[in-house]
Amino acid sequence: MSSHLDALESQSIFILREAYSRFSKLGMLWSLGKDSNVMIWLARKAFLGRVPFPVMHLDTGLEFPETYAFRERFTKEWKLDLIADACPPIEQTDPTLPSGSRLAARKSLGLKQALERYAFDGIIAGIRRDEQSTRAKERVFSPRGDDGAWDFRDQPPEFWDHYNTDFPPGTHVRIHPLLQWTEVDIWRYIQREGIPVVPLYFARNGKRFRSLGEEGITLPIDSDAATIADIIAELETTKAPERAGRTMDHEAEDSFERLRASGYM
């Protein structure tokens, strides 16, 4: 195969087709961010033009106006079967969580609501291993219990592209076709394929969004990267983590403390 991007694309298509073959009620999460746009693009390649299952936007009502405009336009252009139910209100989340995390918890509730409402047995999500340390431990096919919990201590083995697709009743499966991709891979692929993204990713007045979430809990970074080529160049030299602008990632207690608390020396 000619390139690294071709290899990643081919692997992701393989995963999407496995999911479609093994599960009868699939849904794909569409956060409207760069990664999930790539994922939809890959699904269109896998299924020869049309995404054959619903895509779901867990809508908090708090996205940027540019993000909503993007959703309206590309739902039509890409002929997507969109589910955009409103997430349950913040009052229903755990009040002991920090405020940014409570907003994120609304999305967990929204997903739970969708699982009940539409009886999905497989949910395709665009997470990547390089984004965040816990995500590095994920499997491509990752079982969730009744409550949606992830028991990362007892994950089945996964190797040679033989995914666990057979699960006891009451579990649903998260499928992660982008797990192997890195942030810069995503941008190179967007560049190569000409995949549209929300314009907030590109710098205006010295600021841009590197990771896109809700208004108010997502902060832009200092950057002059106004084109995809600029962004790729920026990523090759930066040492700042991708999700530095995500409030909820950084309001938890000291990570080293938590390590100690769990019995580490």
Q: Which of 98, 248, 113, 121 is nearest to 174 (CA)?
A: 121
Q: 122-124 and 141-144 as β-strands: parallel, antiparallel, unpaired?
A: unpaired
1 forms part of the interface with another protein (CB under 8 A): yes
Nearer to another protein, 205 or 262 (CB): 262
258 forms part of the interface with another protein (CB under 8 A): yes
167 forms part of the interface with another protein (CB under 8 A): yes
Of these, 159, 170, 205, 222, which contacts another protein (CB under 8 A)? 159
Q: Which stretch binds another protein (CB under 8 A): 19-27, 57-65, 77-85, 217-225?
A: 19-27
Of these, 69, 86, 226, 240, which contacts another protein (CB under 8 A)? 240
227 forms part of the interface with another protein (CB under 8 A): no
Of these, 113, 164, 195, 199, which contacts another protein (CB under 8 A)? 164
Measured distance CA(43)–CA(33) in Å, rounded: 16
DSSP code for 29: E
Strands (E), the chain: 26-29, 55-56, 82-83, 122-124, 141-144, 172-175, 207-208, 221-222
Q: Are 134 and 152 in contact (CB under 8 A)?
A: yes
- Contact letters (x/-) for another protein, 47-66, by CB under 8 A? xxxx-x--------------
170 forms part of the interface with another protein (CB under 8 A): no
97 forms part of the interface with another protein (CB under 8 A): no
What residue type is assigned to position 118 of the chain? Answer: Y
Q: Are 252 and 214 in contact (CB under 8 A)?
A: no
Nearer to another protein, 70 or 181 (CB): 181
Q: 90-94 long-range CB contacts below 8 Å, 24 or more apart?
A: none
91 forms part of the interface with another protein (CB under 8 A): no
254 forms part of the interface with another protein (CB under 8 A): yes
Distance of closest approach, residue 135 Cβ to another protein, in angstroms:
8
Chain Cα centroid distance, residue 206 = 26
Per DSSP, the residues of 141-189 read: EEEE-TT----GGGPPP-BTTB------TT-EEEE-TTTT--HHHHHHH
Nearer to another protein, 85 or 249 (CB): 249
Of these, 65, 91, 95, 168, which contacts another protein (CB under 8 A)? 168
Reading the block at residue 165, the tokens are 């697709």
The site for another protein (CB under 8 A) is made up of 1, 3-7, 9-11, 13-14, 17-18, 20-21, 24, 44-50, 52, 129-130, 132-134, 136-137, 139, 152-153, 155-160, 162, 164, 166-168, 182, 185, 188, 236-237, 239-241, 249, 252, 254-256, 258-264
